Amino acid sequence: MATKLEDIVSLCKRRGFIFPGSDVYGGFAGTWDYGPLGVALKKKIMNEWWKFWVEDRDDMFGVDAAIIMNPKTWVASGHAATFADPLVECLECKGRFRADKLADGINESVTTEEFHNLHAKCPTCGKENWGPIRKFNMMFQTHVGPIVDDTSVAYLRPETAQGIFTNYKNVVDSIYPSIPFGLAQQGKAFRNEISPRDFVFRSREFEQMEIEYFVHPDTWEENFEKLLKSVHEFLEEKMEIPAEKIHELEVAPEDRAHYSKRTIDVEFDYPIGREELMGIAYRTDFDLGNIQRESGKSMEYRDKMTGETFVPHVIEPSFGVERLLMAVLASSYTEEEKDGKTRVLLKLPETLAPFRFCVSPLLKNKPELVEKAKEVYDALRAKYGNVTWDDSGNIGKRYMKQDEIGTPKCVVVDFDTLEDGTVTVRDRDMTEQTRVKIEEL
């Protein structure tokens, strides 16, 4: 049975993964808050990404740039002029939508005439009475300093990439890495989406994990293929996303971002359909060239071996944390029929599960069991860190709860434990129970 988005949303709220933003006040469109388990899962995904792309390689380095940057950044990058979506308003219900999402076969450059000729119906009221298409810049505007005027305008960054590019020269001047090399950053980005939708898939505040990989212009193709191969390795081996649900889409020139000469969208079969999970783009020297022109400072790199100087070209693997988290949840969400009952479980990889073990006393009203279970809990927590305690309800309800939050193993202390030092270890996926000595856990 295909996984439904509403099932994942329900589980996430019920078990404390993800809540609607500002929920107590009725919510705030396009924002989401992460509960205890959601924070744990999100951080583990981000940590695994950092380990794979930065810590386990000798050609990657990290940066962490400010969210609010000099406004010249967005002029040089082209965002001030081109970072816009086609906004259309229904004249009947006054709803506002992205025109390119209301009909198939069109993109962000669709004109009013082209859109009207498609006879799209309003998704809210069902009528066909549209106003003209207007370009809507998605950057959140703010003001810096005590005076609110045109000279104090700044923006919340719509991507983390520009913080990497503006620090390229700082990194080269300070540590002078051998080319090719990459700079990686994780952090918040903000886009004033016209119509945020589909849970955390498209929201106004999100986190990105991006790499700008600097290469000699003559070697971009081979480095592009190497990075693309690593993308699949990360998704399939580290995130354990099924390979058959991952697809590559070669983006046509007219659909690529303004800075790209080649882009591959890596798509995933979400419950909402096949959509972009992440992308890898060849940005040429677009960004460094623009910075060099606007700032008047050289962005050239001198090759250590040959002495050749050139402005590096860039390949960008770009991941959205929330889209990756949603893919992990969709891949692991499982419903099984057993003895006439439906069992819901998250088959999360052990490295991503919020808790590795759940420790319980068989009965919480038996002090000797509770005391022993606390000893086991303390020992496992000291060793693994992400261990939880649960003594609520009967043991069957505890198993059901831990299945839903993805805990791989449940450890139960019973009366035999007091006699022989063994505990019952119950496996989440197979539901098998085995006796294991405490010291072997």
CA–CA dist 69, 253 (Å, integer):
30
DSSP 325-353: HHHHHHHHEEEEEETTEEEEEE---TTT-
Q: Measure the CA–CA gap between 153 and 145, rounded to whole angstroms.
A: 9
Q: What is the pLDDT of residues 81-104, one digit of tens each?
A: 777 778 899 999 988 888 888 888
Kindly report the number of other CB atoms within 10 A of residue 231's CB atom. 21
pLDDT of residue 1: 62
Q: Is the pLDDT of residue 254 over 90?
A: no
Among residues of the chain, what percentage have pLDDT more than 70?
Answer: 100
pLDDT digits (tens, 9 = 90+) for 297-340: 999 999 999 999 999 999 999 999 999 999 999 999 999 987 78
Q: Tens digits of per-residue pLDDT, 21-74? A: 999 999 999 999 999 999 999 999 999 999 999 999 999 999 999 999 999 999
The residue type found at 171 is V
Res 357 pLDDT > 90: yes
Whole-number pLDDT of residue 41: 98
Mean pLDDT of the chain: 94
* CA dihedral of residues 105, 109, 113, 117 (deg, nearest 10): 10
Which domains can be identified in the chain, with CATH numbers? 5-69+158-330 (3.30.930.10), 355-440 (3.40.50.800)
pTM, full prediction: 0.90
